[in-house]
Amino acid sequence: MGHHRAAFAAGVAVGFIAGARAGRERYDQIVKFTRETWQNPKVQRAAQTAQAKASELSKAAATQAPKVASAAARQAKHQAGKAKGQAGKAKEHAKGQASKVSLPKKVAIPKVSVHRPGWHFGNGHAGTHAAHGSPSQSSVNGASQTDSTDT
């Protein structure tokens, strides 16, 4: 496999060197042909005609632009009016559907008491159970722990 890679690399090197030498000659030929073509009177006339036509078209476009913009603005206003009308109809339909929905008169919300370990709620200030003489115990992974923090 190494022999094929060496042969390929050698071929690339020979092609590069040969192409570089031939490439400069070919480049010079292309530049010479381009200059001769560009200086041809027929090409010069065609370039001038194309430039004049481009100028004429840009002036025509500048003249037409305000008309096109005005027509687009009218069309946008028309479409906005149609969308507003459809939105109004959808709103009325939603109101009609909402009036058909019946809600329960009274919903019972159960009162839930939440106990936060380590806090005493009886006297309005935060303190631990241990501060009042009763140790707070909690079970973590089956092990019993005693809170002995004093305030």
Please state, in angstroms and rounded to a whole number, the distance separating the CA atoms of residues 22 and 42. 31
Burial profile 120-151: b = 16 or more Cβ within 10 angstroms, e = fewer = beeeeeebbbbeeeeebeeeeeeeeeeeeeee
138: CB partners within 8 A, 6+ apart: 117, 144, 145, 147
The Cα 23–Cα 29 span in angstroms is 10
Is residue 148 within 8 Å of 135, Cβ to Cβ?
A: yes
- Reported as a pLDDT band with limits 50, 70 and 90, residue 2 is low
pLDDT digit string, tens, across residues 13-46 = 777 777 776 677 777 887 888 888 888 898 889 8
How far from chain centre, in Å, is Cα 124?
52
Strands, DSSP E only, in the chain? 136-140, 143-147
pLDDT, tens only, 47-89: 899 999 999 999 998 999 898 889 989 999 989 988 888 988 8
Which range, of 7-16, 97-106, 134-143, averages the lowest pLDDT? Answer: 134-143
